[in-house]
Amino acid sequence: MFSAWNGGDVTEDSLYEKYGAIVTSTGKNFCAEMNKQFPEYNTKIHKYVKNTEFIDIMYDTLAAGKPVPFEWAALYGDEWTLHYSLIIGADIPNDKITVANPYGYYEELTLEELLNRTSFQAYENMPLFMKMGFAIGMFEKNTIFSIR
């Protein structure tokens, strides 16, 4: 989705064809691939941030005219997943955050809903391998990326 915003044609499918694997499955690898695919920008990962930091990074990135990549619990049909999406709008006074989801839809959330999903509290029936991934630091909660 960032590629589409930037006028490019990078997709999950094109990355899979290039590498033969999902190379953006962790925050660190997602960040590295963003910097590789979009060298005109500097993408930085911020993980385990406090809610206030998350909001500050989100606002600063949006104010600079860029969408905000972040990691969260997203629904794919009826199933919860660990996923990356883009925050494309934030109206805190009216409690509306707009998210572009690469699964093919847009969501409008309250700030509380967003933060419940970035902390993965909303992820119902999380599989054991995912819980272990968080426990060993493979996956991170409250992870957002700034783009400069």
Burial class of residue 84 in the structure, from the number of CB atoms within 10 Å of its CB (0-12 exposed, 13-18 middle, 19+ buried): buried
**Which of 135, 5, 140 has the alpha carbon at shortest distance from 61?**
5
How do the pLDDT tens digits run along the chain, 148 residues long? Answer: 788 887 788 877 778 788 776 777 788 888 998 999 899 999 999 999 999 999 999 999 999 999 999 999 888 888 888 889 999 999 999 999 999 988 888 999 999 999 999 998 888 788 888 889 888 888 899 999 999 9
Q: Which domains are assigned to the chain?
A: 2-147 (3.90.70)
CA separation for the pair 27, 96 (Å, rounded): 25
CA distances from 123 to 17, 19, 23, 29, 109 (A): 29, 29, 23, 22, 16
- Record the pTM: 0.88
Taking a C-beta distance cutoff of 8 angstroms, is the pair 71, 50 a contact?
A: no
